[in-house]
Amino acid sequence: MKNKKLRDVQSEPDHRNIPINKVGVKDISYPVVVLDRAEGRQHTVARVNMYVNLPHHFRGTHMSRFIEILNKYRDGISTLNIRDILDEMKKQLDSETAHFEIEFPYFITKEAPVSKEKAKMEYTCTLVANSNEDYYTLEVRVPVLSLCPCSKEISRYGGHNQRSFLSVRIKARDKIWIENLIEVAEKSASSDIYSILKREDEKYITEKSYENPLFVEDMVRNASEKLMKMEGVLWFSVESENMESIHNHSAYAQIEMDLRDKR
């Protein structure tokens, strides 16, 4: 029996005359490869969102084509080819705009400060690009240590500290390494933190943070100073959330700065 041609329902016209800004696939879990400054490439598992616009005269988009495009680039997704991915989305889905988001855990081998023990440290990264913009957005969420200057000043013994998260988000046209943003965050805190520590390492970090007390405001200002000097950064946002150890709340600060007029 001869195969009957299947009806292409999503390509049929829609008469409501309402365009859709974003339509696509969201929260795909997918193995990908990203650029690694030390190793060249790193395999990880990402959560991916892919959207295009839909003109008013189309009823629906072809969802399977998003996965086909993602599969085509699974062996290497980075700032180097993200523009190609956007162009492919526009071409394959017959759209004027395309939007691509990828969030993934990124691992760096860190060496403890005294014992030199090595272990993998995890950071959460997000890469976002839109075909209407000539830059991409890269965000890195970095766990760090902070120690309260006020607590140190008024206490007879020590000072309270907390694990904090510094989130660094930048807009750039050219490649900027994930590791560079991680270094900005870690050097802006009372101390960076590690996956594995021996007693001599704990002593070192405790004393280091005690000698470098910082408010949440200090941390975002420190990071901002470094980003203002980083070549290629067009815009940045820095957020710090300190999960207080003696309060039932977090301390928070944020700085956003557009550098495009200064470049």
Per the structure, the count of domains in the chain is: 2
Range 27-36 average pLDDT: 92
Residues 241 and 116 occupy one common structural domain: yes
Domain boundary residue, one of 84, 103, 122: 103
| Mean predicted lDDT score pLDDT of the chain | 90
Alpha-carbon separation of residue 29 from 45, 48, 67 (angstroms): 7, 7, 11
Residue 65 has pLDDT above 60, yes or no: yes
30-34, 123-127, 140-144, 184-188: least confident range: 30-34
Look at residue 8 and tell me if it is in a domain. no
CA distance 91 to 83: 12
**Residue 74 pLDDT:** 82
Q: Is residue 119 one of the residues assigned to a domain?
A: yes
Could you report the per-residue pLDDT of 179-222, keeping only the tens digit for each?
999 999 999 999 999 999 999 999 999 999 999 999 999 999 99
Whether the Cβ atoms of residue 142 and residue 166 lie closer than 8 Å to each other: yes
pLDDT in the model for residue 64: 87
Compute the distance between CA of residue 99 and CA of residue 89 in angstroms, rounded to an integer.
Answer: 9
Residues 128 and 218 in one domain: yes
Both structure tokens of 126? 């997000």
Q: Are residues 158 and 50 in the same domain?
A: no
CATH of the domain at 167: 3.10.270.10
Q: Are residues 155 and 225 in the same domain?
A: yes
> What is the residue range of 160's domain?
112-263
Looking at 83, 103, 123, the residue that finishes a domain is 103
- Domain stops at, among 103, 129, 153: 103
Residues 142 and 195 in one domain: yes
The single residue listed with the structure tokens 């510094």 is: 166
Average pLDDT over residues 60-78: 85
Is 2 within a domain? no
